[in-house]
Amino acid sequence: RTVYLNGEYLPETEAKVSIFDRGFLMADGVYEVTSVLGGKLIDFEGHAKRLERSLNELDMKKPAAFDDLLEIHRELVRVNEIEDGLIYLQITRGSPGDRDFVFPDPETTEPTLVLFTQNKPGLADNPAAKKGMKIISIEDVRWGRRDIKTVQLLYPSMGKMMAKKAGADDAWLVEDGHVTEGTSNNAYIVKNGKIITRALSNDILHGITRAAVLRCAKEAQMEVEERNFTIAEAQEADEAFVTSASAFVMPVVEIDGAQLGDGVPGPVANRLREIYLEESL
């Protein structure tokens, strides 16, 4: 596969980054994942805007090629012949040539810009969407700026491992008794036809798919309430689901061993998935 590194398109085996890169040593970097369906980028502008915000919040310099990001995405889709898949983009604060907690001078240290594709044929026909996911809940012990999409993904990875060990598919994170979000997605419940999801704040990532799906829901005259909810309330809900750029709308059928409704994906989640994919294609 061809990847992009700091202005160059290279075979993946030839793309090399310094061992002093702050992304490697300190998780000092931000990222985005954009999906590709039928060769088309989904919600590119939303991802680009959030990326810019993440950089600003961390006082990180934009890489020289920032204005060319759309073109780079398109070129990678083209050369790697991606019909359905994902594009991963990462910007780190670069390599000052030694380890130091203090940020390097942005005049002398260039950020590192990396993009690569992941080919996922049939991404929109994921059989998991027909079955629904089993979720466990775990304590949310991440840092307090989850609105910034940093590459600090150790705890989300641990959460997915805890879910796997428990025979589940993913984990929802709980802070002060309320669900924040999933390990790599935003979380929703549905009660009496109303869609309930946590309001935006520094506590969760402002999902690009979340924004699009809530817009779809409102356009379809579905009721949406942005507020906190507990695991107990979720277990009593009619339905639940998650959203992300890689999963779109993914139904949830079990939470901490409690089956939701009939234990199959619910009508609201199914309909939103359909509307969202239709609008995206």
Considering only residues 177 through 196, tell me which ones interact with ligand PDD, judged by CB under 6 A: 181, 184-186
Nearer CB in complex with ligand PDD: 207/265? 207
| CA nearest neighbour of 228 among 280, 267, 180, 265 | 180
Q: Name the residue nearer to ligand PDD (CB basis): 117 or 243.
A: 243
Query: Would you say 117 or 244 has its CB closer to ligand PDD?
Result: 244
Q: Within 218-257, which residues bind ligand PDD (CB under 6 A)? A: 243-246
150 touches ligand PDD by CB under 6 A: no
H/E run at residue 256: none
| C-alpha Rg value of the chain to the nearest Å | 19
**Tokens at residue 121, please?**
């044929």
Contact pick of 90, 95, 209, 280 for ligand PDD (by CB under 6 A): 209
Which C-beta is closer to ligand PDD: that of 25 or that of 211?
211
> Which of the ranges 9-17, 126-134, 203-211, 250-258 carries the binding residues for ligand PDD, by CB under 6 A?
203-211
Site for ligand PDD in 39-58 (CB under 6 A): none
Instruction: Render 13-55 in DSSP notation, one character per residue.
Output: GG----TT-HHHHH--EEEEEEEEETTEESSHHHHHHHHHHHH
* Contact present, 172 and 255 (Cβ < 8 Å): yes
- Contact between 218 and 273 (Cβ < 8 Å): no
33 near ligand PDD, rule: CB under 6 A: yes
- Residue type, position 125, single letter: D
- Binding region for ligand PDD (CB under 6 A): 33, 181, 184-186, 205, 207-210, 243-246
